[in-house]
Chains A and B, each alone.
Chain A
Amino acid sequence: MGWLVIGLLAWLGGWAINIRLAALPKSRLTGLAIPVIFGLSLVVIWESMVRGFDVSPILLPAPSAISVKFVGSLGILWQDFVQTVVKGALSGYAIGCGSAFALAIVIDRFPFLQRGLLPIGNFVAALPIIGMAPILVMWFGFDWQSKSAVVVVMVFFPMLVNTVEGLRATNMMQRDLMRTYAAGYWQTLLKLRLPAAMPFVFNGLKVTTTLALIGAIVAEFFGSPIKGMGFRISTEVGRLALDMVWAEITVAALAGSAFYGSVAMIEKKVTFWHPSQRG
Chain B
Amino acid sequence: MIQRLWQRVAPVLSMVAALIVLWYGAAIWLNTHWAEDKAQRAGVTLTTAALIADTWSQEKPKLPAPHQVAHEIWKTTALKKITSKRSLIHHSKITLSSTLLGFALGTVLGITLAVGIVYNRTMDMSVMPWVIASQTIPILAVAPMIIVVLNAVGISGLLPKAIISMYLSFFPVVVGMVKGLRSPDHMQLDQMRTWNAGGGQTLWYLRLPASMPYLFTSLKIAMAASLVGAVVGELPTGAVAGLGARLLAGSYYGQTIQIWSALIMAAMLAALLVGLIGVLQRITLKHMGMA
Contacts and interface: CB of A to CB of B under 8 A. Distances in A.
Contacts of A119: 12
Contacts of A131: 231, 243-244, 247, 259, 262-263, 266
B191 to A, nearest CB: 26
Given A35-B129, A128-B231, A18 B140 contact: no
Given A35-B129, A120-B12, A217-B141, A58 B152 contact: yes
Nearest to A42: B130
Contact of A252 (B8, B138, B263): B138
A229 interface: yes
Interface string A155-169: 000000000000000
Interface in A178-235: 209-210, 213-214, 217-218, 221-223, 229-230, 233-234
A103 interface: no
Interface residues of A, number: 59
A15 interface: yes
Given A116-B12, A138-B62, A126 B133 contact: no
Contacts of A53: none
A30 interface: yes
B144 interface: yes
Contacts of B262: 131
A80 to B, nearest CB: 12
A170 interface: no
Contact of A214 (B141, B145, B236): B141
A92 to B, nearest CB: 14
Contacts of B259: 131, 134-135
Contact of B251 (A137, A253, A260): A137
A79 B58 CA distance: 40
Residue from A18, A131, A213, A217 whose CB has the most chain B CB atoms within 10 Å:
A131
Interface stretch (B33-41, B42-50, B73-81, B267-275): B267-275
Given A35-B125, A116-B14, A217-B138, A126 B247 contact: no
Nearest to A132: B263
Given A34-B126, A135-B259, A237-B236, A257 B153 contact: no
A87 B136 CA distance: 19
A115 B145 contact: no
A34 B125 contact: yes
Interface stretch (B194-202, B207-215, B220-228): B220-228
A128 B228 contact: yes
Contacts of B232: 130, 218
For the complex of A and B, 6 pairs with smallest distance between CB atoms: A116-B11, A134-B251, A256-B136, A116-B15, A38-B126, A217-B141
Given A115-B12, A128-B227, A234-B236, 16 more contacts: A15-B122, A18-B125, A21-B125, A22-B124, A22-B125, A35-B126, A38-B130, A39-B130, A130-B231, A131-B244, A131-B259, A222-B251, A223-B251, A233-B142, A237-B144, A249-B137
